[in-house]
């Protein structure tokens, strides 16, 4: 069955360290999204991609970067982790031309 996997599922890091969260999908969907979810804020879009070599900034992109070298993967990098980036991170995908998004299981990140 097609799926979206995220790794690691849990991560503890220190402020200032670079951290990369992985997202891998076997849906063969063109569109991929990274969100963070915090109490009181709901889902907020960090970065998104509509295909290989395409990346775009979302509403909360400062301190994050992504790259898309193939259809299956969209890794999210925190360049220099800050305590404000403690959150749960979700990767989602959708078919080209469609809005319905399918989500991965999430990564819980704690920055100390």
CA angle 7/35/31 to nearest 5° reads: 85
Which residues are 76's β-sheet partners? 21, 66
Q: How far is the CB of 55 from other proteins (least distance, A)?
A: 14
**Structure tokens that stand for 81 in this block:** 């982790």
**One residue of 1, 53, 70, 99 binding other proteins per CB under 8 A:** 99
| Contact status: 70 vs other proteins (CB under 8 A) | no
| Contact status: 27 vs other proteins (CB under 8 A) | no
Which residue number, 1 or 99, has a Cβ lying nearer to other proteins? 99
Contact predicate 42/93, CB 8 Å: no
Contact predicate 68/74, CB 8 Å: yes
Residues in the site for other proteins, rule: CB under 8 A?
4, 31, 33, 40-45, 48, 50, 58, 90, 92, 94, 97-106
């Amino acid at each position: 069955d097609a799926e979206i996997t995220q790794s690691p599922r849990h991560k503890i890091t220190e402020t200032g360290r670079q951290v990369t969260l992985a997202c891998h999908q076997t849906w063969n969907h063109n569109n991929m999204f990274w969100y963070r979810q915090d109490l009181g804020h709901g889902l907020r879009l960090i970065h998104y991609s509509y295909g290989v070599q395409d990346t775009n900034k979302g509403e909360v992109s400062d301190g994050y970067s992504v790259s898309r070298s193939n259809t299956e993967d969209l890794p999210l990098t925190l360049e220099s982790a800050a305590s404000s980036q403690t959150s749960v991170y979700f990767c989602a995908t959708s078919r080209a031309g469609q809005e319905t998004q399918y989500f991965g299981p999430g990564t819980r990140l704690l920055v100390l």
